[in-house]
């Protein structure tokens, strides 16, 4: 049983690495476009590639504490559905300024 779990873990690591590379390649493709090359067709292609990558990403395997850290660090930005609160995962707001909460999160990461 433990051998089977180890195999699953290594498969997940490889999938994560593969997805990370694919996300970076997609970002680089978008950034390398000239203004003239930015067409509706390119936008649709990039959107489809991004959606396909999201479908492959196993958000349920990511611990909630890591999801919450990302939600805090990227507050106010567009996030995938699994991180924007629609999945039931919600960040408790504090009365302190934003910069203080970011400092607290980064100190927890270290």
Walk along the chain (110 residues) and give the pLDDT tens digit of each residue: 555 555 577 888 899 899 999 999 999 999 998 888 888 999 999 999 999 998 898 877 878 888 888 888 888 888 777 776 666 677 776 655 554 444 444 444 43
Residues sharing a CB contact under 8 Å with residue 15, sequence separation 6 or more, in sequence order:
56, 58
Specify the pLDDT at position 63: 82
Specify the pLDDT at position 104: 46
Query: What span, in angstroms and rounded, lies between the C-alpha atoms of 23 and 84?
Result: 19
Q: What single-letter DSSP state applies at residue 95?
A: S
Specify the pLDDT at position 102: 46
């Amino acid at each position: 049983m433990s051998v089977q779990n180890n195999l699953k873990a290594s498969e997940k690591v490889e999938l994560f690495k593969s997805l990370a590379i694919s996300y970076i390649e997609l970002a680089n493709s978008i950034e390398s476009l000239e203004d003239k090359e930015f067409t509706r067709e390119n936008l649709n292609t990039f959107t489809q590639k991004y959606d396909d990558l999201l479908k492959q990403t196993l958000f349920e395997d990511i611990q909630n504490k890591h999801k919450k850290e990302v939600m805090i660090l990227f507050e106010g930005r567009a996030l995938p559905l699994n991180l924007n609160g629609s999945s039931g995962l919600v960040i408790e707001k504090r009365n302190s300024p934003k910069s203080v909460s970011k400092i607290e999160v980064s100190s927890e990461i270290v």
